[in-house]
A and B are shown apart, each in its own frame.
Chain A
Amino acid sequence: MLSRTAENLYWLARYVERAEYIARTIDATLRVTALPAAYIGKTNEWESALLTAGVSASFHETYEEANEANVVEYLSFSPANPSSIKNCIENARLNSRSVRTALTSEMWDTINGSWIELQELWSKGTASREELAKFLRFVQETSLRFDGSAYRTMLRNDAFWFSRLGLHLERADNTARILDVKYHVLLPEEEHVGGPLDYYQWTSILRSVSALTAYHWVYRETLKPWLIADLLILNDTLPRSLASCYGNLVRNLDQIGVAYGRQGAAQRHARGIRNRLEHSNMDDIFQHGVHEFIQEFISDNSRLGEIITKQYLI
């Protein structure tokens, strides 16, 4: 297929995934900031939301204070924020328009329909909490519908695999970013387990990767920080865990490699990361430093993005 088509499919999936992630982040932050101050401590949750979205620096170029109104506006609608939900959906549609021939009509319908709806929501604004909640739900549903229509209607060929690569690469990045910002509340040595403060931080983390229920099913335990880290990093049954993302990335890259009759740097690099995740356990990770582990992962992951681009997309 055309390199440009593959590139568009890859970015289309990334933008949709990112929009959903930003929506989840706002949602989770709204919940935690709604709690009385005694439950959440002195950290500015809106600042963390900016950090997990990776847009803190650019935010402070425009805004003074990271409060709810400013951050929600910036993350949801700001044209100046390249990762705002609005920009993500608009970019997703632009990418879709360029590759209409590679999309199924169901996928196009989802993206185009969401874009039309976004224009309407946008013109109405999200003044009230209720409208905001509706908007965030809409974004999450868009992503679910997009993902579902891709899964159910696309031919299983390179178009599908490149789209999946974008999805899993973005998802891995998002999960790693939450861990990067919140790793300190997951450290076991602080041992004030069960304190109300961290408890709500933990649920917030899980909620932003839609894994709160999953946690209980997997561990059948009350919330424990190292188990949360285990779930998000190593447990490959959770679709948003780093391990699961890399299982999928390796599989999709292999499928491309087989179809094209050639393996390359992307396959090798992805396999390297997956092997490291497979051979790690939480004890080692904590011993060597969660933060270092996550930062290394983030840079490895973005390196994979560069390699894929070089190998296939240009």
Chain B
Amino acid sequence: MAVAFDEMNGPAGDVRPAYQELSRWLKETPAEALEYRRQEAELLFRRIGITFAVYGESEAQERLIPFDVIPRIMSAKEWTILEKGLKQRVRALNMFLRDIYHGREVLRANVVPEDLIFQNPVFRPEMNGQAVPHDVYVHIAGIDIVRVDAENFIVLEDNARTPSGVSYMLENREIMMRLFPDLFARHRIAPVERYPDELLSCLRSVAPNSASSEPTVALLTPGVYNSAYYEHSFLADKLGIELVEGRDLIVKNDEVFMRTTEGLKRVDVIYRRLDDDFLDPLTFRPDSVLGVPGLMSAYAAGNITLANAVGTGIADDKAIYSYMPEIVKFYLGEEPILKNVQTWRCREPKELSYVLDNLGDLVVKEVHGSGGYGMLIGPASTKATIEAFRDKLKREPEGFIAQPTLALSTCPTCTAAGLAPRHVDLRPFVLTGKDRTTIVPGGLTRVALKEGSLVVNSSQGGGTKDTWILDE
């Protein structure tokens, strides 16, 4: 594994331009003061109730995601490149989805193999030929980005279903502004607070034709026991829209209504934070009590917009991911600005045999997995684990992809032994509405708090940082 790129310190001990001021400030600030602020931040988070649930942990039902008070900083120049790359990528994702559920030119041109689509459980035949307003499928995308050197941003994963984490982007900033006003005064940082407004206008812009001129938007949550419930309530509040559960909605004559104290009220756009499988027990899982019976038929009738659309999973699938550079070129005729991680598709015999020979050096991921579960990190695993995984891989190679172990960039982070570099990634949020794509400058920086660890997922000991894009 290569040496990780340190975002603050250059190889000769020089501080990179974006971090100059922070570095000076850190030298002036005693360690105790930082520790005191850290505790204060934790208290604020708990008080506000920014918690998440970890599935399978009954005792610690509500936990805090550790927050690191040292910000992660990017220059305006870096952000400009990233922003351009993200817009390009999301445009391609939307065109790909439109194509998959309509003409399927991408398959006919042999850019993506057919069976990868049609045998994929996240492909939704219900969406074949179904029109969605303005051809937008992925209204909210969370693209996971890592850096390995000064020049390149690499996409680790596209999240095109129900990406979460944006509440941390907003709350981390609020808390940092409260705790470190002086540090803010010494920087010019692009604000993130307009995200809720952007999201609301994005959602309103894709209302169905049958909606009134003031479309009603609601956020559909699986409920208080969902791990991201805090975020759902937070966003509904910031957007000023109703936070509904499946039982609050009812479908009549292919229109969707919510039950209110004044009777039924029509809903036009649903920002749903519920997976496809649970949306409508009449179409998908019949045992789902979280969904709304008849929702898909209202959707087919064009009376409701779902954001994101149904069936977007086919675009962020890890097996499809490996084709993204070709997909970008196919639809846009442009070179992809953001690179992909080199990916071996275990479904292809030649690549599988390479993966099996090099398991100890690779990261192997389940094609349909998320949250960092069910993956093998070769260099960090024991022989026994690797061998057990080898059997799993041989039994079902099409369920996996493999990637080299990336040296994710590092950022200074508070640890028990003082400031130390820790690996980070970044999830910016890309909004696509009727006629424009917007990205609030920033995103969610996740940090692997354990020394040497590359797993940034909050369910596995990751923390978060405020992300500053300098305004120059």
The proximity string for A residues 110-122 relative to B, scoring 1 for CB distances below 8 Å and 0 otherwise, is 0011001000000
- Whether B248 and A100, one on each chain, are in contact in the complex, defined by CB atoms closer than 8 angstroms, is no
CA A33 – CA B245 in complex, angstroms? 49
Interface hits, A280-314 → B, CB 8 Å: 312-314
Q: Is the pair B229, A4 in contact by a Cβ cutoff of 8 Å?
A: no
Q: Given the known A-B contacts A4-B248, A100-B233, A101-B233, are A109 and B261 also in contact in the complex, defined by CB atoms under 8 Å?
A: no
Which residues of chain B come closer than 8 Å to A21, judged between CB atoms?
Answer: none
Does the CB pair A2–B49 fall under 8 Å? no
Task: Report how far A24 CA is from B390 CA in the complex, Å.
Answer: 65
Residue contact B233 to A2, C-beta cutoff 8 Å: no
Which residue in B229, B234, B258 is a CB contact (below 8 Å) of A2? Answer: B258
- Chain B binding surface, main DSSP class: mixed
CA distance A3 to B250 in the complex (A): 13
Q: Given A4-B259, A260-B262, A312-B261, A97–B47 Cβ distance below 8 Å? A: no
- Minimum C-beta distance from A2 to chain B (A): 5
Binary contact track B289-318/A, C-beta < 8 Å → 1, others 0 = 000000000000000000000000000000
Which residues on the A side are within 8 Å of B248 (C-beta)?
Answer: 2-4
Check if B260 is an interface residue, CB within 8 A of chain A. Answer: yes
Identity of the chain B residue whose Cβ is nearest the Cβ of A105 in the assembled complex: B48
Q: Which residues of A contact B258 (CB under 8 A)?
A: 2
Contact B229 A97 (CB under 8 A): yes
Q: Which of chain A's residues have a CB closer than 8 A to the CB of B261? A: 1-3, 6, 158, 162, 256, 260, 312-313
Q: Is the CB of A101 within 8 A of B259?
A: no
Chain B residues near A312: list those with CB within 8 A: 261
Complex CA gap A54/B8 in Å reads 65
Chain A residue at minimal CB-CB distance from B62: A97
- Point out the residues of chain A lying under 8 angstroms from B46, CB to CB: 116
CB-based contact B245/A4 at 8 Å: yes
Are the C-beta atoms of A2 and B260 separated by less than 8 Å? yes
Is residue B332 within 8 Å, beta carbon to beta carbon, of the partner chain?
no
Chain A residues in 8 Å Cβ range of B245: 4
- Chain B interface size, as a band, is 20 to 34
Note all chain A residues with C-beta closer than 8 A to B259.
2-4, 314
Asked if residues B233 and A97 are in contact (CB atoms below 8 Å), the reply is yes
Knowing A2-B248, A112-B47 touch, does A97 contact B260 (C-beta < 8 A)?
Answer: no
Complex contacts, B242 vs chain A, CB 8 Å: 1-2, 5, 101
Checking A97, A108, A109, A112 against B224 with a beta-carbon cut-off of 8 angstroms, the contacting residue is A97
**Complex interface residues of chain B between 201 and 252 (CB less than 8 A to chain A):** 223-224, 229, 233-234, 236-237, 242-245, 247-248
Take A1-B261, A6-B261, A260-B262 as given contacts and tell me if A94 and B244 are in contact as well, using a CB distance cutoff of 8 Å. no
1/0 per residue, CB under 8 A from B, across A86-107: the answer is: 0000000010011011000100
B47 with A109: CB separation less than 8 A: yes
CB distance from A44 to the nearest CB of B (A): 39
Min C-beta distance of A36 to chain B, whole Å: 46
- Distance A97 CA – B248 CA, assembled complex (angstroms): 16
CB closest chain-A residue, reference B240: A101
Chain B residue with the shortest CB-CB distance to A93: B49
Smallest CB-CB separation from A256: which chain B residue? B261
Instruction: State A162–B260 Cα separation when bound (angstroms).
Output: 13
CA distance A21 to B408 in the complex (A): 57
CB-based contact A1/B260 at 8 Å: yes
A residues within 8 A CB of B244? 2
Interface string of B382-426 (1 = CB under 8 A from A): 000000000000000000000000000000000000000000000
In contact, B260 and A3 (Cβ under 8 angstroms): yes
Measured between beta carbons, the chain A residues less than 8 angstroms from B229 are 97
By beta carbon, the residue of chain B nearest A115 is B49
A6 to B236, CA, bound (A): 16
* Cα of A260 to Cα of B263 in the assembled complex, Å: 10
CA distance A105 to B48 in the complex (A): 8
Q: Looking at the assembled complex, report how far the CB atom of A260 sits from the nearest CB atom of chain B, in whole angstroms.
A: 5
Determine how close the nearest CB of chain B comes to the CB of A149; give it in whole angstroms: 14
| In the complex, chain A residues whose CB is within 8 Å of the CB of B236 | 101
Bound complex: CA A112 to CA B233 (Å): 15
16 contacts between A and B (CB under 8 A): A1-B261, A2-B242, A2-B261, A3-B260, A3-B261, A4-B247, A6-B261, A94-B224, A97-B233, A98-B224, A100-B243, A109-B47, A112-B49, A256-B261, A262-B262, A313-B261
Closest 9 pairs between A and B when the two form their complex, measured CB to CB:
A100-B233, A101-B237, A312-B261, A3-B259, A101-B236, A6-B261, A101-B243, A260-B262, A97-B224
14 further A-B contacts with Cβ under 8 Å, apart from A112-B49, A162-B261, A312-B261, are A1-B242, A2-B248, A3-B260, A4-B245, A4-B248, A5-B242, A6-B261, A100-B49, A100-B237, A100-B243, A101-B236, A109-B47, A260-B261, A262-B262
